[in-house]
Structure 1
Amino acid sequence: MSTAPVDTAAGIWHPRFVWVTVGSIALIFLAAIQSLAVTTVMPIVSADLDGDALFAVAFAGTLATSVIGMVAVGAWCDRGGVLAPLTTAVVLFVGGLLLAGLAPTMGWLVVGRLIQGLGTGGQTVALYVVVARVYPPLLHGRVFAAFSAAWVIPSVIGPSLAGLVTELIDWRWVFLGVAALTMAAFVMVVARLHGLPLRTDEPATARVAPRLLCAVAVAAGALALSLAGELGGYAGVVIAASVVVIVIASRPLLPRGTVRAQRGLPSVVLMRGLIAGSLFGAEIYVPYLLIDQYGFSPTWAGLGLTAAALTWAVAADVQGRFGDRLGNARITLLGTAMLMAATLVAGAVALFSLTPLVLIGGWAFAGAGMGLMYPRLTVLTLAYSTPQNQGFNSAALSISDAVGSATAIAAMGLVFTALRQTDAAFPVVFALAAGLAALAMVPGLRLGHAHETRAPI
């Protein structure tokens, strides 16, 4: 890319970057709309398609196959440009949405979600590499803060809009509408990327096939884990085997020392997986609880996620501006404490039948904690990277995110299903999420510093 001086006062809205910024944020925005919308309407979808047994699989499956997309696109980017991998990822994402939106059964919807996952994972990694190759390091913090802020409008309108679409038209348009808008956003960003030199000068040469096989094994393990509850007497064996496969197959996809929480990049990647598992494993049960125990409509249940997404965006902006002053250790302690508090409050609401306003207000702390931690971990990952491993490290961060989320969702789904006829189902799920948040403090205090920089305030 060009090394001509850039007016950093203009930041990510400098004429050189503006269309890449707008298009990338639009893709993040639509991914956010889809994620929040599906979380809201999935209880209705599973009831309509008689697919309660596949409820958790519809979430975990997308995350599981996203690992394959991340590895493939990460390796593709490290070997050359980013435009072709990004295009492929967007096509898979849109194709999966179309299949899910037209699905006649829950099984077909899950297949669509699996294809969608391939695109989601690849798109995330490709956009991270775009940031690394288009923007100077000084602006990386601002870009990722903008990505987090792209969740603001979806957080305000996404869940409720999804509920309204479901009630007034049909839940299928939650998938089909996002598919159409995603193509429009992609055209916006690809037009500008065509004019930029995005190929690395020193392409990676490491073999890709072994890593792809490991990614497929991780995805299969996560899917098997989420389906284990349907296997009767063999469930225990399948659960144990799935966990072993996930752990062993994940190791080549992550930086060496990740499992041991080695100081630096390995701890960055491990922490991302733990906090993702805590939040996303629990979050799908927030609207479920509001609908199941409090009789909320899909529209109003979606509001249960709005406060958290708003606080996420605000906290992400705070991190983007003051992250270096706060420091990594303080961000870890503040972020994990707020995530733990939110999950424990949610468990208390379910256990003691407290007013749902406590759940909605308490869940806002989860968003604030994640807003502090998520973009900071991304900035650290790029700061620890070189042009030769930007794709691998970006993929590793996203893989940890997806594996942590998919494994937590699958495990919590098994627990929830086993306890579904008791009053303990929701409280136990939220307690497990709190435990993961507490565990995240271990790598969180070993993040180190990689001379990360932030944009001027």
Structure 2
Amino acid sequence: MTLPPGRAARPGRAGILGRGYVLPTVGMVAIVAVSAFQNLAMATIMPVISRDLDGEALYSLAFAAPLAAGVPGMVVAGTWADRSGARVVTIVSALLFALGTAIVALAGSMPVFLGGRLVEGFGAGALTVVLYVIVSRIYPEYLHGRIFAGFAGAWVVPGLVGPAAAGVVTDTWGWHWVFVGALVIAVGSFVLLLPSLRRLPVPDVADRPAWPGPRIAWSAVAAVAVLGLNTAPDLAGALGPLVLAVGLVVAVVGLRPLLPVGTFRVAPGLPAVVVMRAVAGAAYMGSEVYLPYLLQAHHGFSPSAAGVTLTLAAISWAAASWAHGRIPERVLTARRTFSIGLTLVALGLLAAFVVAVTGVLPVVMIAGWFVAGAGMGIVYPRTSMLTLRLSDRADQGSASSALAIGDAAGAVMGLAITGVAFTAFGGRAATVSFAVVFGAMTLVALAGLALVRRVGPVPAPRG
């Protein structure tokens, strides 16, 4: 008999820290924690970096670059893992991530900084996919909900100390040292995972899929398009919106072959799951980077104080994900999960919009983002679980790649739209620019809410 992921394991069933699972669990959670620290640190200290490197016009590109580079990284890693197993892919991806972080740490100009972010992003995108493959190869399905909750829980410690620590280090020694510290932690995390890689199976030669040359080429097209999207805020007059519109069209053309058939019409099943992930990511990630920015620019917050907003959201994200992993699916169905999650995200964005428009106490926005984090905390693990369940074992690398690509594409497009809007309405100096950002992303979350009914019924967990 198969237990739903939300139920406790019966006697004789190990948990994610049980015998045989503890090392891969600790290693993967540590890697996710490093990524979490990087994300939270960037959102906290990027206003300082942009001033130091004279790159304020490229503010959104600093966040979009690794996401864009991650798209070809995900495609390559997904097929490579299906062909050769996850062992070598994990090692190469980890080395690229570490190399990119080192370049960022040593950067003395914005072009070098962005170059490091591109290398880092390619490695991070590949790692995202390969971690999903490791989960599917090592853990039984009844533990999938728990391990994905563990990934969300990996944001707690970085969420508690990451933004504040990044702010203090930046205030005391400079932002370069934030990335030096992240590099040291990353290397230690990869070392923890190495012993578990020997357990991963290698597919039979007869079962290996061919290298998808066209998919890799289209992923490069999509990556270039989304990078172009995020140069739009730096263009004067009507040229910025024009580049944004053209870039969106090219990005969609490039992404279409990389996503499940039916994604752009939100077909039930895996396509709709990918759309839920993309829409939630666009609304949340497209706004998150502007919360510390608003607090520092118009409310007198220091980088470390502004980071509290992200800390609280990380805590609520992890707590909601933990709860999601323990509620039976018959109670928290897929449609119900996405409806609740996107509603919470929309409420958080609405709170940020109100603060930007009225100038009321920033605590309203901080509380709202706590609510939004909880919404993401139930949407993300459910999309991860459903992706593995709705795909054949031999195709789980490619399916995980599609989910990660949808996630990254949504975030990058969200950042591109908010970047153009932010610049067009006055940038840092005007509160209306922040209001437009938060208002636009509220509409994106509401659009996702309207599409929830397209998810359709999903199969019961496999044994």
1:12 to 10, 16, 28: 16
| Structure 2 unaligned spans of 5+ | 1-9
SS in 1 for 2:16: helix
> Greater shift after overlay, 194-203 or 113-122?
194-203
Give TM-score scaled by structure 2 length: 0.94
**1:271 Cα offset (Å):** 1.0
**1:231 Cα offset (Å):** 3.5
**1:203 Cα offset (Å):** 3.1
Say if 1:152 and 1:310, in contact at 8 Å, map to a contact too.
yes
Q: Report the CA distance shift for 1:143/1:22 in structure 2 as closer, same or farther (over 3 A).
A: same
**Structure 2 residue 63 is the aligned partner of structure 1 residue 59:** yes
**Structure 2 residue 406 is the aligned partner of structure 1 residue 413:** no
2:91 to 52, 62, 87: 87
**1:204 Cα offset (Å):** 4.0
How many angstroms apart in 1 are the aligned matches of 2:248 and 2:457?
32
> Greater shift after overlay, 226-235 or 283-292?
226-235
How many angstroms apart in 2 are the aligned matches of 1:231 and 1:422?
18
**1:8 Cα offset (Å):** 5.5
Query: For residues 37-436 of structure 1, what are the structure 2 equivalents within 5 Å?
Result: 37-199=41-203, 203-232=207-236, 234-324=239-329, 325-420=331-426, 421-436=429-444
> Greater shift after overlay, 254-263 or 444-453?
444-453
**1:434 Cα offset (Å):** 0.7
How many angstroms apart in 2 are the aligned matches of 1:303 and 1:154?
11
Q: Report the CA distance shift for 1:323/1:241 in structure 2 as closer, same or farther (over 3 A).
A: farther
Name the residue aligned to 1:3.
Answer: none
Say if 1:72 and 1:212, in contact at 8 Å, map to a contact too.
yes
SS in 2 for 1:178: helix
**Percent of aligned pairs with the same amino acid:** 40
Q: What do the CA deviations read for 1:322-342 (whole angstroms, capped 9, x no partner)?
A: 150211121122111110000
Q: Report the CA distance shift for 1:180/1:423 in structure 2 as closer, same or farther (over 3 A).
A: closer
**Structure 2 residue 444 is the aligned partner of structure 1 residue 439:** no
Q: What do the CA deviations read for 1:54-76 (whole angstroms, capped 9, x no partner)?
A: 11100011111111110110010
SS in 2 for 1:326: coil
Q: Report the CA distance shift for 1:397/1:8 in structure 2 as closer, same or farther (over 3 A).
A: farther
- 1:326 is matched by which residue type in structure 2? L
**1:443 Cα offset (Å):** 3.6
Q: What do the CA deviations read for 1:324-368 (whole angstroms, capped 9, x no partner)?
A: 021112112211111000001101001100111111111101101
SS in 2 for 1:205: coil
**1:196 Cα offset (Å):** 3.7
Say if 2:66 and 2:118, in contact at 8 Å, map to a contact too.
yes
**1:302 Cα offset (Å):** 0.5
How many angstroms apart in 2 are the aligned matches of 1:268 and 1:297?
39
**1:156 Cα offset (Å):** 0.7
Q: Report the CA distance shift for 1:81/1:244 in structure 2 as closer, same or farther (over 3 A).
A: same
**1:422 Cα offset (Å):** 3.8
Q: Report the CA distance shift for 1:20/1:77 in structure 2 as closer, same or farther (over 3 A).
A: same
How many angstroms apart in 2 are the aligned matches of 1:441 and 1:304?
24
Name the residue aligned to 1:30.
Answer: 34
- 1:453 is matched by which residue type in structure 2? P
> Greater shift after overlay, 443-452 or 178-187?
443-452
How many angstroms apart in 2 are the aligned matches of 1:203 and 1:170?
51
- 2:459 is matched by which residue type in structure 1? H
SS in 2 for 1:11: coil
- 2:81 is matched by which residue type in structure 1? C
> Greater shift after overlay, 361-370 or 226-235?
226-235
Q: Report the CA distance shift for 1:190/1:317 in structure 2 as closer, same or farther (over 3 A).
A: same
- 2:212 is matched by which residue type in structure 1? V
Q: What do the CA deviations read for 1:133-184 (whole angstroms, capped 9, x no partner)?
A: 1111111111101111111111111111110111112211111111121111
Aligned length: 450
Q: Report the CA distance shift for 1:80/1:126 in structure 2 as closer, same or farther (over 3 A).
A: same
Say if 1:331 and 1:373, in contact at 8 Å, map to a contact too.
yes
Moved beyond 6 Å, runs of 4+: none
**1:454 Cα offset (Å):** 9.4
Say if 2:343 and 2:449, in contact at 8 Å, map to a contact too.
no
**1:7 Cα offset (Å):** 6.5
How many angstroms apart in 2 are the aligned matches of 1:43 and 1:8?
51
How many angstroms apart in 1 are the aligned matches of 2:13 and 2:349?
40
Say if 1:125 and 1:391, in contact at 8 Å, map to a contact too.
yes
Say if 1:320 and 1:454, in contact at 8 Å, map to a contact too.
no
Q: What do the CA deviations read for 1:395-434 (whole angstroms, capped 9, x no partner)?
A: 0000000000001101100110111254310111001111
Give TM-score scaled by structure 1 length: 0.95
Q: Report the CA distance shift for 1:422/1:34 in structure 2 as closer, same or farther (over 3 A).
A: closer
SS in 2 for 1:157: helix
**1:452 Cα offset (Å):** 4.4
- 2:221 is matched by which residue type in structure 1? A
Q: What do the CA deviations read for 1:237-269 (whole angstroms, capped 9, x no partner)?
A: 422321111111111110000000001110000
**Structure 2 residue 444 is the aligned partner of structure 1 residue 448:** no
Q: Report the CA distance shift for 1:340/1:213 in structure 2 as closer, same or farther (over 3 A).
A: same
How many angstroms apart in 2 are the aligned matches of 1:431 and 1:389?
39
